Amino acid sequence: MLAAITAALACVALTREELAAAVAERVGEQDLAERLKGGFGDLLKPAAFTGDLCFAPSDGRRVRFTRPADRLDGWAPVEPEQAANAVVRTYLHAYGPAPREQFQRWFGMTSPAEAGRWIAALGDEVVEVDVEGRPGWMQASDVVAAERSRPAGVVRLLGGFDHYVVASPRDADAVLAATVRERVYRPQGWLFPVLLVDGRIAGVWSHKLRAGRLGVTVEPFGRVNRTSRRAPRLRPSDSRSSAASWRCAGGDRLGPSS
């Protein structure tokens, strides 16, 4: 099946449905098409792990796939150890300080010990720190900047299933209070779009498009302070935001008015 996926994606970009049909035809098992259409992509992940599948530009709301060798200039396989080191560096730079268990969950490892070995393999590049009694690992080169950082009132609207929310520690109140965790991490694996304030998940949001106008409703988990109400910082990366109507669930207007 892996060989069929690679062959089907040669020099083309296919939607999930197109890829499923092409692979099923190649292997002569039509029942396989329905399994390949699964939203969690469990049968497609092995091809991604071997470097034979990646995302291509979407077709509207439908995701598409292609081969990294066709999509990325200069693509070349790397040694497993080199790849593992790069993954740990990238993860800790984005999410550190992080305990080994957090990296284990994110990468899908079977044991914390294995995650610990991957982290330890970086040697002096990483350092274990303590944040208010919570130990974690981070890149040594990031320590000084982390120590000097202060809340700056940076506000972002993240879409559903944003990778920041997917990988955030779900047991850390510093990121998301336990009392409102179920409003973000919903049943059946659904992740709600969130309001982010200085890296902390501070609310959820939704939108509706009516008569060509985008209406955005923000539902903070607590009081909306003056900094968080500043319109330029609440705009998502969307060309339609200048024509949007922003509203706080409590009735306050956020962002630009019409």
The whole-angstrom separation of Cα 69 and Cα 92 is 27
CA dihedral 138→143→148→151, nearest 10 degrees, is -10
| Confidence at residue 42, expressed as pLDDT on a 0 to 100 scale | 79
| Domains defined for the chain, CATH in brackets | 2-71 (1.10.10), 80-148 (1.10.10.10), 155-248 (no CATH)
The predicted structure's pLDDT at residue 258: 35
Residues of the chain with pLDDT under 50: 231-243, 251-258
Please give the pLDDT value at position 189.
Answer: 80
Question: What one-letter code names the amino acid at 84?
Answer: A
pLDDT score at 246: 54
Contact present, 249 and 220 (Cβ < 8 Å) = yes
Q: Which among 1, 62, 53, 55 has a CA at the least distance from the CA of 32?
A: 1
Task: Determine the 3-state secondary structure of 22 from DSSP.
Answer: helix
Asked whether 100 and 116 are in contact (CB, 8 A), the reply is yes
Distance CA 140, CA 124 (A): 7
Q: Tokens for 205, please give them.
A: 């949001």
The structure's pTM equals 0.73
pLDDT of residue 114: 96
**Which amino acid is it at 19?**
L
CB 194 within 8 A of CB 228: no
- Find the distance separating the first CA and the last CA of the chain, reported in whole Å: 54
Please choose, from the candidates 212, 161, 165, 216, the residue with its C-alpha nearest in 3D space to the C-alpha of residue 190.
161
- The dihedral region occupied by 85, where left means phi > 0, alpha psi between -120 and 50, and beta the remainder, is alpha
Residue 17 — φ and ψ, nearest 5°?
-65, -40
CB-based contacts of 235: which residues, under 8 Å, 6+ apart? 157, 241, 242, 244, 255
Phi, psi of 69, deg, nearest 5 = -65, -30
CA within 13 Å, CB half, 93: 8
Distance CA 155, CA 10 (A): 41
- The rounded distance, in Å, linking the Cα atoms of 119 and 110 is 15
